[in-house]
Structure formats: C-alpha cells, structure tokens
C-alpha cells in the first residue's frame, strides 16, 4: 500500500545518499582508527612461505609499501621502481600516447649517461638497450628488461625490504586485515534483489564508506534445503577469482541468522532489465559488443582457473556505476580440477547447451553456447530457441535446441554478429568457437582487449547516478516453513569454516581507495605505533 511506497522511497533516498558520502563525515568516523601493534608470532606467520610476487606485486598494500621502500632507499632502487612504472604506463597507453611514453623510457633509463640508467643490467641487457631504435622497441625486448629488473629486485632490495620499517608496517596491515568481521562493521541499506536463500542488500563499511552488496544466506533455510555445500563452493570460488569482470568477494562472515557474502556493489542493474524493462527492446549494438567483450574476458578468466560458470545469461550480468559489467551468481559454477562429475544437468532453460541437455560429459564449451544465446538475446530481445514470453514447454525448447537451426530475423543482426553467434551455437562441441580464443573475431574489431582488461576502456553507456536500477522490495516474507530448524555442533563448525573475514586483495584495495591507507600511514598519525 501507500506506506510501503513511502518505505521504498525512504530506502532509496538513504541508499543514494550513502553513495555520496563526504570526506569530512568519513574522517570523523575513523578518528579512533589505528594500526594494531604486532605480536611476534603473528608477524612471523604473515611472512612465512610468502614470496616476492605475493608480497611485493600482487597484494595492493604490499606493492605500495615496497614501492615506497624503493623510492626512499637509494637512487638505483628508485630508478628500478620508476622504470617498472613507466613500462606499465607505456604498455597501457592509448595509441597516440605510446610514442611519448616510449621516448620517456629511452631518455630516462636506457642511455648509460642518463642519471636513471639501470646499473644492474647485464652487459647483454645494456647492449639491448643501446640497440633500442624506434623499430625494435617492442613488447618482447621490454619484457626482457622488465624481467631483468624484477630479478634484480627479488635479490638484495627484497631482503633489505623484509628488514625495513616498511615491511613492519605491512605486517601491521596484515594484522589489521585479520580482524573479526561482524554485522557491526557495516551499515545496511535497501534490498537489491532476492535469491534462493535470502536477500541481497546494499551495505557500507563504516570506517571507509565503501559500498558493497551483501548476499545474506538464511542459515535455517540453507539447512532445510541442504544448500550448505553449494554456498561454500560459491564462496570458495568467489574468493579465488580476482577479475574486473566478475563480482569479487570482499568479506565472508556470519551473523546470528545469516551467512553473508559481501561483494562488489553493482548499481546499474542486470542486463535482462536493460534488454526488456527500459522501454525499448534490446540493447544497442555498440553496448552489446562492449558487454560481450567484458563477459568474454570474465569467462576466459574463469576457464583459465579451471572453473566452468554454467549459468551464463543476461540476468546474471550486472552493471556497475560506470556502466562496466561483471558476471555474478557463481552458485552453479564448478571447478574441474576437483574431479567433480560433470555430466550433471545444470543451468537455465533456453541457455543450456546440447551436451548439457543430453547429459553428456562437458567442459568449458557450455559457457560459450550460453554466451551465444545471450548475445542473440541482447540484440533481438528473445532467445534463439524461444520467443519472448512464448508459452512453451521445456521439452520443446530442448527439442529445438538439439534439432533446429538458429534463425536471424531481427533487423539489427549484422554479418559479424550473426557469424560470432553461429560459431558459439555449433551443436557439436568440437566445432564450437570459444574453445579457442574468440577475442580476435571481427565482431570485436572496435575493442582493444589489452586496455579493456586493464579497466581503461570507458563504457558507451553510463547509468544515471540518481536512479535505482532495482525493483522495489515487496512486503511479505514467509518464514513459517523454516521455523523448526535447529543447529548442532557440526553446523556451527560449518558456519565458522565459511566465515573467513576479509579477502586480502579486495580489502587492501578498499583501504587504498578510501584513503585510509594514506591516513594511517602518514608518520604524524602513526607515531608511537612503530617501535
Ligand atoms: P541466487 O544465487 O540466490 O539467485 P543472486 O546472487 O542471483 O542469488 O542474487 C539475487 C539478486 O540480488 C540478483 O538477481 C540481483 O538482483 C541482486 N544482486 C546480486 N548480487 C548483486 C550485486 N553484487 N550488486 C547488486 N545487486 C546484486
Ligand atoms: Mg540468481
Ligand atoms: Mg545462485
């Protein structure tokens, strides 16, 4: 009724306002924040078995502190750090800016008389440097110099770093990262959607102001329906992936009634909503190509990790505030390496590949089939084997999928689009596209994947900041069927296994992006903490 309408309005307003939180308010919230002092044992634990790559390159805070160490130690270390930085700038530069980036590198680092000359280069490296004329200044040579630089850094600089104040600081951050997460860590906002085991709502980390989506799985419902294994698999896969094109997990914790997965907040709505619910049917071609490119990169990322997604469809592709998309809902995903039986029928009707429907053994091919169906749907606002809102039995969709040829009647299909869809919709796995790399298909001619995969290609369409791209919540939630569920020690053990707290990569990014890293790292602020 009207009251519900008012509730929804208030919920939307506070949700939108939270996303625009100002710096002063945040600063007040974290006045009391300090880095923890170190206990000897925890410091040892954090460093144990960790390698240069993880400590100095992959972990965002680790990489920052190692940089700071290099830049403040001596000229040689600083030059090495700057060289790597310039190399990456060159590598990701837009075409028209590459030439300038290249000249900078040549002048600064590659001439033995220049101040930044990299003195750790072997004679061979130095020769290569001298030979660097415009024509052979390419990825291969630079890779060689990049590797030489990394080899150098892994040696003495790294071992000195491990004994420095900077590394001590890193260990403090690791200690902080290990804090126990409860629902007091967040403010909670409106519901964004409903899932099989509970709702997904927007949350905000109190100290950083970072917004996330929190998928709350009802413990009693999980137990009643035997969903615990699936929830754990989803969580374990999510925490392993770290991609711009997949919703990443930032925290896993449990509250009194829920297991909670805290993920990237996607404020732009899902692609199904954009195909059918925004007045005009379908998505314009420029966006279709852009989304498909990001989805393709996301799928390749999963496949490279041995993961089959199995639920590729527009509804599971979510847009963020900048109009970039990510794959979500990894509840059906499965890791091949774990020897899982994989002829199990899983997926959504209309998107399932022939080999799934026939319950044959399958691998990554099924995701490319579903991507073919999804591209078709983005363009034509219907599925290849099922018309929009067509009342048709699943059996008939299955029959058509196995027997019929895909037709392209909609006027928006151009030749490259038809071609790429047809290649994805080959009924025989061996002939299907994708099992090799689809990124070079002419459908993607306008996409620079190198820049796309670094997050540098802007979206052709950006969601409006003052619109909530989610359906309003409806009132009544029936909980009567799960009232009688109780938990034993085995359940409690499972809840603890699930609740691993902050996920390093995401948490460290959050600390940096929100400015907390800089605030707590500035010497004035941290005086008395570092011993
Ligand atoms: P289930 O696995 O139970 O289907 P989902 O993961 O699909 O649950 O989430 C349910 C709904 O919540 C989605 O359809 C979507 O509307 C919303 N949702 C899920 N994840 C996010 C997110 N990261 N950002 C915004 N909304 C989300
Ligand atoms: Mg879902
Ligand atoms: Mg799911």
At 326 the pLDDT is 98
Tracing tokens 């590659």 back to the chain, one arrives at 110
> Ligand 1: does its nearest atom lie under 6 Å from the Cβ of 213?
yes
Q: Whose CA is nearest to atom 14 of ligand 1?
A: 193
At 44 the pLDDT is 56
Whether ipTM tops 0.95, in short, is yes
If pLDDT is split at 50, 70 and 90, which confidence band does 27 have? confident
Residue 61 pLDDT greater than 80, yes or no: yes
Once rounded to an integer, what is the mean pLDDT over residues 450-471? Answer: 91
If pLDDT is split at 50, 70 and 90, which confidence band does 107 have? confident
The runs of H, that is alpha helices, within 364-406 are: 365-380, 394-403
State the Cα–Cα distance between residues 214 and 15, nearest whole angstrom.
Answer: 14
> Ligand 1: does its nearest atom lie under 6 Å from the Cβ of 328?
yes
At 45 the pLDDT is 59
As to burial, measured by CB atoms within 10 angstroms (0-12 exposed, 13-18 middle, 19+ buried), residue 37 is: exposed
Percent of all residues in the chain with a pLDDT value above 90, rounded to a whole number: 63
Once rounded to an integer, what is the mean pLDDT over residues 339-354? Answer: 83
Ion ligand 3 neighbours (CB, 5 A) are 329, 331
Q: Which atom of ligand 1 is nearest to the CA of 195?
A: 3
The tens digit of pLDDT for each residue in 315-334 reads 999 999 999 999 999 999 99
State the Cα–Cα distance between residues 454 and 443, nearest whole angstrom.
Answer: 20
The tens digit of pLDDT for each residue in 386-438 reads 999 999 999 999 999 999 999 999 888 999 999 999 999 999 999 998 767 89
At 530 the pLDDT is 40
Phi then psi for 186, rounded to 5 degrees?
A: -125, 155
Once rounded to an integer, what is the mean pLDDT over residues 83-107? Answer: 84
20 or 187, which is more confident: 187
Distance 196 CA to ligand 3 centre (A): 7
Nearest C-alpha neighbor of 250 from the set 242, 262, 259, 233: 262
The tens digit of pLDDT for each residue in 134-163 reads 555 567 777 888 898 999 999 999 999 999
Give yes or no for a contact between 190 and 473, defined as CB atoms under 8 angstroms apart: yes
Give yes or no for a contact between 24 and 516, defined as CB atoms under 8 angstroms apart: no
Once rounded to an integer, what is the mean pLDDT over residues 354-375? Answer: 94
Selected catalytic residue, list 311, 320, 329, 367: 311
Q: Which stretch of 123-132, 150-159, 295-304, 505-514 has the lowest confidence by average pLDDT?
A: 123-132
Which residue ranges make up the annotated binding site for ATP? 215
Residue 89's H or E segment, with its range, is helix 75-92
- Given ligand 1 and candidates 215, 216, 331, which is best to mutate, with the most ligand atoms within 8 Å of its CB? 215
Half-sphere exposure of 398 (CA within 13 A, CB side): 11
- Out of 213-217, 230-234, 523-527, the most confident range is 213-217
The tens digit of pLDDT for each residue in 175-216 reads 999 999 999 999 999 999 888 898 999 999 999 999 999 999
| Average pLDDT of the chain, as a whole number | 88
Give yes or no for a contact between 98 and 206, defined as CB atoms under 8 angstroms apart: no
Nearest C-alpha neighbor of 95 from the set 448, 452, 421: 448
Distance 256 CA to ligand 2 centre (A): 23
- Given ligand 1 and candidates 311, 328, 332, 463, which is best to mutate, with the most ligand atoms within 8 Å of its CB? 328
At 531 the pLDDT is 34
Helix, coil or strand: residue 338? helix
Question: Torsion over CA of 237, 216, 510 and 178, rounded to 10 degrees?
Answer: -80
Question: Torsion over CA of 502, 503, 506 and 507, rounded to 10 degrees?
Answer: 30
Tracing tokens 């969601």 back to the chain, one arrives at 463
What residues are paired with 194 via a beta bridge? 199
Residue 252 pLDDT greater than 80, yes or no: yes
What residues are paired with 201 via a beta bridge? 191, 214
As to burial, measured by CB atoms within 10 angstroms (0-12 exposed, 13-18 middle, 19+ buried), residue 225 is: middle
Q: Whose CA is nearest to atom 11 of ligand 1?
A: 193
At 56 the pLDDT is 95
Helix, coil or strand: residue 333? coil
Distance 375 CA to ligand 1 centre (A): 21
Give yes or no for a contact between 441 and 292, defined as CB atoms under 8 angstroms apart: no
Phi then psi for 115, rounded to 5 degrees?
A: -65, -30
State the Cα–Cα distance between residues 329 and 309, nearest whole angstrom.
Answer: 9
State the Cα–Cα distance between residues 314 and 366, nearest whole angstrom.
Answer: 15
> Ligand 1: does its nearest atom lie under 6 Å from the Cβ of 264?
yes
> Ligand 1: does its nearest atom lie under 6 Å from the Cβ of 331?
yes
Residue 9's H or E segment, with its range, is helix 2-18
Angle of helix 285-304 versus helix 365-380 axis, rounded to 10: 170
DSSP 150-169: HHHHHTHHHHHHHTSHHHHH
State the Cα–Cα distance between residues 207 and 192, nearest whole angstrom.
Answer: 22
88 or 382, which is more confident: 382
Q: Computed over its alpha carbons, how large is the radius of gyration of the chain?
A: 26
Distance 514 CA to ligand 1 centre (A): 25
The tens digit of pLDDT for each residue in 255-268 reads 999 999 999 999 99
Tracing tokens 């307003």 back to the chain, one arrives at 13
At 266 the pLDDT is 96
What residues are paired with 258 via a beta bridge? 218
At 527 the pLDDT is 42
Question: Torsion over CA of 375, 380, 383 and 389, rounded to 10 degrees?
Answer: 140
Tracing tokens 């998309």 back to the chain, one arrives at 325
Question: Torsion over CA of 186, 326, 322 and 14, rounded to 10 degrees?
Answer: -30
Ion ligand 2 neighbours (CB, 5 A) are 329
The runs of H, that is alpha helices, within 252-393 are: 271-276, 285-304, 354-357, 365-380
- Given ligand 1 and candidates 15, 189, 191, 192, which is best to mutate, with the most ligand atoms within 8 Å of its CB? 192
Residue 101 pLDDT greater than 70, yes or no: yes
Residue 46 pLDDT greater than 60, yes or no: no
Q: Which atom of ligand 1 is nearest to the CA of 326?
A: 23
Q: Which atom of ligand 1 is nearest to the CA of 217?
A: 3
**Is 404 tagged catalytic?**
no
Distance 16 CA to ligand 2 centre (A): 23
Which residue ranges make up the annotated binding site? 215
Q: Which long-range contacts (CB under 8 A, 24 or more apart) does 489-492 make?
A: 491/219, 491/223
The tens digit of pLDDT for each residue in 119-138 reads 777 677 767 766 665 555 56
Residue 445 pLDDT greater than 90, yes or no: yes
Q: What is the largest CA-CA distance in the chain?
A: 79
Q: Which stretch of 36-45, 455-464, 493-502 has the lowest confidence by average pLDDT?
A: 36-45
Global model pTM greater than 0.90: no
If pLDDT is split at 50, 70 and 90, which confidence band does 526 have? very low
Q: Which stretch of 22-31, 39-48, 221-230, 364-373 has the lowest confidence by average pLDDT?
A: 39-48
Q: In this structure, which ligand is nearest to the CA of 200?
A: 1
Give yes or no for a contact between 291 and 254, defined as CB atoms under 8 angstroms apart: no
At 374 the pLDDT is 98
At 459 the pLDDT is 97
Distance 159 CA to ligand 3 centre (A): 45
Q: Whose CA is nearest to atom 25 of ligand 1?
A: 266
Q: Whose CA is nearest to atom 17 of ligand 1?
A: 193
State the Cα–Cα distance between residues 370 and 311, nearest whole angstrom.
Answer: 8
Distance 32 CA to ligand 1 centre (A): 34
Once rounded to an integer, what is the mean pLDDT over residues 430-455? Answer: 91
At 528 the pLDDT is 40
């Amino acid at each position: 009724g009207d009251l519900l309408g008012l509730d929804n309005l208030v919920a939307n307003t506070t949700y939108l306002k939270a996303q625009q939180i100002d710096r002063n308010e945040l600063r007040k919230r974290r006045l009391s924040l300090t880095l923890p002092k170190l206990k000897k044992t925890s410091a040892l634990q954090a460093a144990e078995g960790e390698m240069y790559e993880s400590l100095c390159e992959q972990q965002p805070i680790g990489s920052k502190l190692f940089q700071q160490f290099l830049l403040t130690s001596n000229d040689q270390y600083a030059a090495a750090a700057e060289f790597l930085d310039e190399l990456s700038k060159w590598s990701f530069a837009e075409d028209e800016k590459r030439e300038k980036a290249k000249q900078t590198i040549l002048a600064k680092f590659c001439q033995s008389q220049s101040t930044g000359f990299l003195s750790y280069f072997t004679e061979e490296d130095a020769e290569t440097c001298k030979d660097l004329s415009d024509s052979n200044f390419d990825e291969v040579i630079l890779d060689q110099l990049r590797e030489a630089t990394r080899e150098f850094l892994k040696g003495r600089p790294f071992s000195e770093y491990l004994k420095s104040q900077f590394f001590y600081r890193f260990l403090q951050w690791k200690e902080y990262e290990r804090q126990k997460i409860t629902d007091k860590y967040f403010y909670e906002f409106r519901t964004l959607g409903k899932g099989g085991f509970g709702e997904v709502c927007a949350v905000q980390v109190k100290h950083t102001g970072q917004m996330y989506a929190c998928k709350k799985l009802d413990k009693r419902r999980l137990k009643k329906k035997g969903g615990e294994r699936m929830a754990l698999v989803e969580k374990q896969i999510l925490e392993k992936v770290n991609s711009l094109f997949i919703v990443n997990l930032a925290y896993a914790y449990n509250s009194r009634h829920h297991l909670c997965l805290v993920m990237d907040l996607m404020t732009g709505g899902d692609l199904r909503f954009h195909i059918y619910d925004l007045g005009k049917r379908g998505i314009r071609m420029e966006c279709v190509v852009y989304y498909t490119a990001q989805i393709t990169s996301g799928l390749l990322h999963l496949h490279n990790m041995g993961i089959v997604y199995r639920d590729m469809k527009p509804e599971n592709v979510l847009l963020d505030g900048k109009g970039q998309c990510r794959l979500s809902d990894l509840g059906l995903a499965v890791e091949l390496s774990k020897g899982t039986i994989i002829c199990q029928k899983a997926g959504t009707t209309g998107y399932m590949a022939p080999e799934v429907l026939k319950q044959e053994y399958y691998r990554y091919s099924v995701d490319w089939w579903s991507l073919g169906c999804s591209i078709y749907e983005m363009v034509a606002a219907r599925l290849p084997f099922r018309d929009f809102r067509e009342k048709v039995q699943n059996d008939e969709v299955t029959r058509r999928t196995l027997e019929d040829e895909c037709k392209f009647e909609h006027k928006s299909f151009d030749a490259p689009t038809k071609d790429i869809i047809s290649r994805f919709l080959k009924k025989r796995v061996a002939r299907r596209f994708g099992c090799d790399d689809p990124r070079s298909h002419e459908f993607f001619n306008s996409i620079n994947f190198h820049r796309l995969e670094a997050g540098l290609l802007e979206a052709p369409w950006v969601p409006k900041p003052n619109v909530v791209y989610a359906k309003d919540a409806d009132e009544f939630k029936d909980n009567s069927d799960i009232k009688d569920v109780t938990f034993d020690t085995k359940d409690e053990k499972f809840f603890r296994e699930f609740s691993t707290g902050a996920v390093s990569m995401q948490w460290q990014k959050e600390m940096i992006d929100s400015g907390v890293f800089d605030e707590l790292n500035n010497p004035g602020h941290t005086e008395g903490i570092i011993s």
